[in-house]
Amino acid sequence: MANQLEIHDLYASIEGEPILKGVNLVVPQGEVHALMGPNGAGKSTLGKIIAGDPEYTVDKGEVLVDGENILGMEADERAKKGLFLAFQYPVEVPGVTIANFLRLALNAKTGKEVSVSEFYAKAQAALQTLDWSEDYLSRYLNEGFSGGEKKRAEILQLMVLEPKYAILDETDSGLDIDALKVVSKGVNAMRGPNFGALVITHYQRLLNYIVPDVVHVLVDGKVATTGDKTLALELESKGYEWVRELAATG
């Protein structure tokens, strides 16, 4: 069976309002895919549904991880199956240090007690890639962090937890160019045969640093077109109305 994240004919709504209207896409391990689209297209909704946000109602369809439908699972069960969601707006967790949070999460993912030395070896390697001080491990998770620090903390989590599939929801939102480069460096360090990612973004600039294997464009709740990395450049010059027209003409 192929190792892949598969969204099949997914329809979803919130409070009776349809948002996703038949989304189909596949992200195999070993590939990084970008999901682009205008505001309100359903990009963040798709990410939240994959992760298990209870606010949304799935009206039809499946989300498969390595052939297994995860839609009936709780969010923590989905994480144990190998899913990771980096939020657009990471929350602050006062009283919980990054080190404690990460070690508990790693224990839950692996199903065993990870030794302190093994944990710190993984954390230090990730911090070095992200050009970040070890002092951050003793800080409370995201408390008092800038937008860039919050995003860097999420990529630290990604690198330590090593999921099979990551959904990165507008990771570039609010980042200056230096922070964008560092965050991208962390994501690129994860690339390999055992990792797949869906990078949700509005803008081509992120894709200059995290170069996608495939680009999907979501318009009005469904994937309107799919292509290689040049599709993002074409969108930059032609805009989303061009995709709408393309979809309308079949």
**Residue 184, number of CB atoms within 10 A of its CB:** 21
User: Which regions in the chain score pLDDT beneath 50?
Assistant: none
Q: Tell me whether residue 147 is in a domain.
A: no
| 12 domain residue, yes or no | yes
Nearest 5°: the CA angle 117, 120, 126 is: 145
List the CATH number of the domain containing 35.
Answer: 3.40.50.300
The pLDDT score that the predictor gives to residue 49 is: 92
Instruction: Give the pLDDT of residue 165.
Output: 96
Q: Is residue 132 part of a domain?
A: no
Q: Which domain holds residue 51?
A: 4-89+163-248
10 lies in some domain = yes
Half-sphere exposure of 109 (CA within 13 A, CB side): 19
Q: Is the pTM of this model over 0.85?
A: yes
pLDDT digits (tens, 9 = 90+) for 107-123: 988 888 999 999 999 99
Residue 206 lies in a domain: yes
Asked whether residue 214 is domain-assigned, the answer is yes
Residue 25 inside a domain? The answer is yes
One-letter amino acid at 214 equals V
- Number of domains the chain contains: 1
Please indicate, yes or no, if residue 187 is contained in any of the structural domains.
yes
Supply the pLDDT for residue 63.
96
